[in-house]
Structure 1
Amino acid sequence: MGAKTWMLVYSKGNPVEILMGSPALDRDATIALAKRLFVSERLEPLGDGDLSSTCPADDVLVVGCFPGLTVVAAKEFGIDYPSRLPAKFLEAMPGHGVYLHAMHSVVDWFAYAVWADGKLQRSLSLSPDSGVLEDIGERQSFEAPYWDGEHPAVDSEEDAADYPFVFHPLDMGEAALLSLFGYQLEGMIDPTHLQPESIPLMRFKRRKSWWRFGWRGK
């Protein structure tokens, strides 16, 4: 299946520290936030998921509110240009840093962005087919070894000449997960790192609400 994500994380502190502290899921707050962010939809509860699966289908929403941190995974966050994230998501939780992480193994695409105090600090989006779609702001420290060629995407110089990057986007995507949130989905997993299956998230079926105004049956 490969690694896939499309999620936002809101955090009042260091997300790694908060998640490593095994925070308790606040189900009432989770339901309230889901309804507020997706007010035009009917949300029907599904069985719980967890942080290892933040790539829900188009008709599914995944949300978890914890003390100081919230995770929201939805189709709206799998976007080529993270800097264009709709304002309603950026403004949903004042006083929180906002992090977007998205990757899709089928097309080897990875994107992430970080906002602080409502201002974009970093946005990167790239794939072999499309090249660099967005590269805004100062590179984060976890990026450096990849841009410096320390994790080559291919083994031979001949293959390297045909590959557009000196690293594989999904490898950087995993590094971003580890640096920003303390866990990985694939690759060499360190058992001392956060196990994403330990962080429960609520899942909802998304259905459009149909309202008819100004109509009366005859």
Structure 2
Amino acid sequence: MASIVSALWHVDAPDPAAVLRDSRPDPAAARALLGRLFPGRRPVALDRVPLTQAVHGGDPEREQVFVGSYPGVTVVCSGELHLRTPSALPLRWRQTLAAEHTFLTVSDPPGAWGAFAAWERGILRRAFGADTVEFFEDEGVPFAWEHPFWAGRHPIRWPAGFTPPPHSLPFHPRRLVEQANASWLGFRYVGRLAGEPDPADIEVWGFDLLDKDEPVTPPRRARSSWWRRGAAL
């Protein structure tokens, strides 16, 4: 993952990659979900944007949320999801939309840390968060796809001449998060394999969250040049 990522996924489809590759997001379902997540707010639709933009969290000067509602797969992106301890995700984010599987993936390149969590029918199965030398969280039994990382088969490439701390992890946590995304959702943000969906082609709907009586103002072009206004839901 080459950029900041914060994404919460609700998955019932047996093959989420096929859904993301072949379907388009439902704007009405996205608005309905936001109505349940933020009952006291007014979501104002912007337009469809690529997932690679939405996972950044949007314009830092505006409260924005991004939703891609697909058949059996829903993704929500928000700065509120950028958690080092993913098991602390508030209940409303996890249970507003009932799903067989719920996944949270978070990656922070500037801080060199990553985190992920998996719930099955609302029950936490696994939660992990760490930078290269410190655990923030490590709960549950590791998944089978984690084993090569813990076995040292994906070592960190330290700079030449640098002596890493003796208690550093045997892998970079952001690479583990990337593998979690591939294992659960069938695609990667970096190093995409043949046949995997391109995250730049996965679309989500963007929304400004306003108070009920707050006037609608256009986004700042300098910070959100990728928006295209005028989409009707």
What is residue 5 of structure 1 aligned with on the other side?
5
What is residue 97 of structure 2 aligned with on the other side?
93
1:157 is displaced (CA, Å) by 9.0
Secondary structure of 1:175 counterpart: helix
**What do the CA deviations read for 1:136-181 (whole angstroms, capped 9, x no partner)?**
1110122111111111102569634467111111211211221111
- Could you say if the C-alpha distance between residues 180 and 77 of structure 1 is closer, same or farther in structure 2, counting changes exceeding 3 Å? same
Which ranges of structure 2 fall in alignment gaps of 5 or more residues? 215-233
State, as a whole percentage, how many aligned pairs show the same letter. 24
Aligned length: 209
Secondary structure of 1:176 counterpart: helix
Aligned pair partner of 1:193 in 188, 196, 199 = 196
* TM-score, with structure 1 as normaliser: 0.86
Matches within 5 A, 1:199-218: 199-209=202-212
Matches within 5 A, 1:1-218: 2-14=2-14, 16-19=16-19, 21-53=21-53, 54-57=55-58, 58=60, 59-128=63-132, 131-154=134-157, 159-161=163-165, 164-186=168-190, 188-209=191-212
Which ranges of structure 1 fall in alignment gaps of 5 or more residues? 212-218
* Segment of structure 1 superposing worse, 69-78 or 30-39: 30-39
Counterpart residue type for residue 43 of structure 1: P
User: Once superposed, which parts of structure 1, at least 4 consecutive aligned residues long, lie more than 6 Å away?
Assistant: none
**What do the CA deviations read for 1:45-95 (whole angstroms, capped 9, x no partner)?**
222112223121352211011111111011121112111111112211224
- Could you say if the C-alpha distance between residues 189 and 34 of structure 1 is closer, same or farther in structure 2, counting changes exceeding 3 Å? same
Counterpart residue type for residue 4 of structure 1: I
Q: Tell me the C-alpha RMSD between the 2 structures.
A: 2.3
Question: Are the aligned partners of 1:128 and 1:163 in contact in 2 as well (CA < 8 Å)?
Answer: no
Secondary structure of 1:207 counterpart: strand
